[in-house]
Amino acid sequence: MEVSPATGQAARDGADGADGVADGRAEEERYALPIKAAHPPRPGRWLLAVVAAVFLVWLVYTIIVNENLHWDVITTFLVDGRVLGGLWVTIQLTVLSMLMGLVLGVLAAVMQLSGSPVLRGASALYTWFFRGTPLLVQLIFWFNIGLVFPKFGLGIPFGGPKLMEWQANELITPFTAALLGLGINEGAYMAEIVRAGIRSVDPGQREAAEALGMSHRQVLRRVVLPQAMRVIIPPTGNQFISMLKTTSMVSVIAGAELLTVSQRIYLGNFEVIALLVVASIWYVVLTTLASIGQHFIEKRFERGHHQHGAPRVSGRIRRNLRPFAKGGPS
């Protein structure tokens, strides 16, 4: 095989460069100092961990052996039909209230970001009022709305004829009052969350979409909101979990949810603590399931944001077990 002078020179230069790099690495390895890093001893941390572990074991033991808790009553009423019925009402109130709050929140946020001062003022008034008054007061107000408006109807406003009318006491049941109070109050908080998410999107995205000829609605639906979801989802998940527990406030208007049912049962058998433990167990189960769901929804909307993506569950387990593997932590 013939080798041209230029090719031969390039090959010799490459060989010389490779030899130089190898010599450099050998030189670095020769003078490199071995690093034997070790964590400094922390006896205080170990002592605190032992004290905390002993306290937790003692607390669990005390709760298990305490006869005043009446664990037989707890296990009996944990799957009682009345308790499960209240649990179902709690789930319904949570889901429907969050859906109502999400719709109202998106609507109020879009109004607040619009160019119309009337729409901005109406949205600001709604957010200001329902965030400024306690939820408990709003629930009691909606439950007693019949004292202010005895009838609701459809027709000509300002004293005109009515086409249809309903009695307020028949229309606003405890469940409806609870749904209105929770949903409208949640909408005021969701408006701020959605507004923050929309503002987090780079204005250049909107300008580029408008330059392509998209309408305002298309820009909002196809460009802005999908990108804003990454910011909106985490606080919305927290609001959902908070709503699960906030439904217990409906007990003041006898909304037939989990806490109301538990109260009705312990007013008959006087097992106050046992029934409160039953309700607490179900609240913990619901919030745990909601937390798991929030994790996977956040993971879905985080796709493409991080360079390497979120670690898988199996990867997390292996990483957590690594300190116990052969050779210790890497």
Instruction: Give the residue among 255, 311, 234, 330 at the shortest CA–CA distance from 87.
Output: 255
The answer, yes or no, to whether residue 241 has pLDDT greater than 60, is yes
Q: What is the pLDDT of residue 230?
A: 82
301-317 tens-digit pLDDT: 766 655 445 555 555 44
Environment class of 119 (CB within 10 Å of its CB; exposed 0-12, middle 13-18, buried 19+): middle
Tokens 């006087």, residue located: 270
Classify each residue of 204-236 as buried b or exposed e, where b means 16 or more C-beta atoms within 10 Å of its C-beta: eebeebeeeebeeeebbeebbbebbbbbbbbbb
The SS3 of residue 155 is strand
Buried b (16+ CB within 10 A) or exposed e, 11-45: eeeeeeeeeeeeeeeeeeeeeeeeeeeeeeeeeee
Report the alpha-carbon distance of residue 263 to residue 274 in Å, rounded: 11
Residue 17 pLDDT class (50, 70, 90 cuts): low
Average pLDDT over residues 267-275: 91
| Residue 236 in this model has a pLDDT that exceeds 60 | yes
Residue 207 clears pLDDT 90, i.e. is over it: no
pLDDT at 2 over 50: no
CATH of the domain at 263: 1.10.3720.10
Q: Which H/E stretch holds residue 240?
A: helix 225-246
Whole-number pLDDT of residue 320 = 46
Q: What is the pLDDT of residue 330?
A: 35
Beta bridge partners of 169: none
Residue 129 has pLDDT above 70, yes or no: yes
**Which structural domain range is residue 113 located in?**
69-301
Is 316 inside any structural domain?
A: no
CA distances from 266 to 69, 74, 117, 119, 313 (A): 13, 12, 53, 49, 42
Q: Answer yes or no: is 8 within a domain.
A: no
Q: Which stretch of 4-8, 120-124, 179-183 has the lowest confidence by average pLDDT?
A: 4-8
pTM for this prediction: 0.73
- Which pLDDT score, from 0 to 100, does residue 10 have? 47
Q: In degrees to the nearest 10, what's the CA dihedral of 318, 319, 324, 330?
A: 130
User: Which residues make beta-bridge pairs with 92?
Assistant: none
pLDDT given at position 133: 92
Residue 74 lies in a domain: yes
Asked if residue 268 belongs to a domain, the reply is: yes
Span of 1-5, 229-233, 272-276 with lowest mean pLDDT: 1-5
Are the beta carbons of 73 and 271 closer than 8 angstroms?
yes
Query: Could you tell me what percentage of the chain is helix, strand and coil, using 3-state DSSP and rounding each to the nearest 5?
Result: 75, 5, 20
pLDDT for the residue 213? 85
**38 domain residue, yes or no:** no
Q: How confident is the model at residue 110 (pLDDT cuts 50, 70, 90)?
A: confident
CA distance 46 to 51: 9
How confident is residue 293, by pLDDT bands cut at 50, 70 and 90?
confident
For residue 104, tell me if it sits in a domain: yes
Residue 3 lies in a domain: no
User: Count of domains in the chain?
Assistant: 1
Are 101 and 183 in contact, with CB atoms under 8 Å apart?
yes
216 domain residue, yes or no: yes
Q: What is the pLDDT of residues 44-103, one digit of tens each?
A: 888 999 999 999 999 999 988 888 888 999 999 999 999 999 999 999 999 999 999 999
